Amino acid sequence: MVATDAEQRVATAQRWATTRENVAQAGLQLIGIGAVYVAIVIFFSFASENFLTYSNTINILTNVTVIGIVALGQALAIISGGFDLSVSGVVPLGAVSFALLVNDGVPTVLAILLVLCVGGVVGAVNGLIVTQIGINPLITTLGTLSITSGLAYSLSNGVTIPFKNPDNGVLADKTVGDISYYVILLVALSIVAFLMLRYSVFGRMLYAIGGNREASRLAGMRVNLVTVLVYVLCASLASLAGVIVASQLLAGSATVGAQAALQSIAAVILGGAALTGGVGGIPGTLIGVLVLGTISNGMALMQVPAFYQQIATGTILLLAVAFGRLRHILVGEQS
């Protein structure tokens, strides 16, 4: 049956309306979390004289890079309707593997590639278990979290492995001014992820699969393949974060990255994503990462004890998410 001109016009109008609504919602989410971030910056600027300085700004950027890179992958997983707890095991596994490889004389670039492959394998295992065996991502990635974390301890014998040659920490070297390579890497990866989500077929498929997995399958999308690829990307980025943290510390340790899963999920949710999938984006995620990193930094400068820092971070997280939820409800009522 051929659609009439009138039907086509209605369909086109509906598509535009949906697009406008999505853009408006995404814009509101960004404005909302952006406003929260600005408020946090203003508060700490008054609360601590050391906060709004050039060196502390660099400090915040370097502090958030590791979680930022993990969060990029986590955002892809959450948008596609899953999530990945195993990043907390893949980060230390990446750090320890990198330290062992470079200490064994493997060239730095090759070592980074090998570590990315390790992450990719873990991601592929996650993706295949979720799609082929049908086990829930929570259980699957909890299992691989335990395995990868245990592997990191086994490989390192539970001890810190310092780099024999500090030059292997090249990613932590300064480049533009006082900004390290890894901060620039985060920015570059964020731009790539943003463009991929916004303008590529793969990116649009992630939103579609996250929104309605079954409908996407019926529409002819290769849902399982896309899901596996998402987990591969997520774990590869987590292993890269492991390389970065090892480069920062000039050592690999199985204790690093323990908070990576919780912090990255929190950042993605703060950035406007929903655990149900289909919603979210890179700019929001990055602001979410900055919110968490800035709160932590600001409270440290204010000499707030660690226990209260945890309480304050959790409270602000809940408030920000509740604010986002309220906004979502209000926008829904208006439309």
Partner 1 sequence: MVSEQERSIGRLVADVQARKLTRRQVVLRGVALGLSLPAISWLLAACGGDDDDSGSGDKQYYFTFANVLESGELFVQLGNGVEEAARVQGVKFKRYNNNFDAETTLNNARLMVQEKPDLVLEYNGVEGIGESLRKIFDDAKIPFIAINVPIPGGIWFNLVNKDIGADTAKVVVPIAQAEGWSAADTTVVIVQGSTAGVEVNDCVRYFYITVADLMGMPNVAPEDITAETTVITENGVQVDGMGTLEASYTGVKNVLQTIPADRHILLYTINDDSTIGSWRAITEAKREANTIVAGLGGSVAALKELRENPRWVAEGSVFATHWGQYLIAMGIAVMNGVTPPPLTKSPQIVLTKETVDKYYDADGKVKLLPPLVPENEYLKDTGVLQKFNNVEGLE
> Contact positions toward partner 1, by CB under 8 A?
48, 50, 53, 55-56, 59, 62-63, 150, 153-154, 157-160, 162, 172, 245, 248-251, 253, 255-258, 296-297, 300-301, 303-308
Q: Whose CA is closest to 64, among 168, 218, 187?
A: 187
> Residue 225 Cβ, how far from partner 1 at the closest point, in Å?
35
DSSP sequence for 137-192: HHHHHHHHHHHHHHHHHHHHTTS-EE-SSGGGGGGGSB-STT-BHHHHHHHHHHHH
Give the residue with the Cβ less far from partner 1, 225 or 311: 311
Q: Whose CA is closest to 73, among 193, 156, 183, 165?
A: 193
3-state class of 48 per DSSP?
A: coil
Give the residue with the Cβ less far from partner 1, 120 or 162: 162
In which residue are the tokens 């439309």 written? 335
Contact criterion met (CB below 8 Å) for 75 and 203: no
DSSP sequence for 190-235: HHHHHHHHHHSHHHHHHHHHHH-HHHHHHTT--HHHHHHHHHHHHH
> Residue 297 Cβ, how far from partner 1 at the closest point, in Å?
6
Give the residue with the Cβ less far from partner 1, 77 or 151: 151
> Residue 104 Cβ, how far from partner 1 at the closest point, in Å?
17
> Residue 180 Cβ, how far from partner 1 at the closest point, in Å?
9
> Residue 53 Cβ, how far from partner 1 at the closest point, in Å?
7
Give the residue with the Cβ less far from partner 1, 160 or 212: 160
Give the residue with the Cβ less far from partner 1, 159 or 218: 159
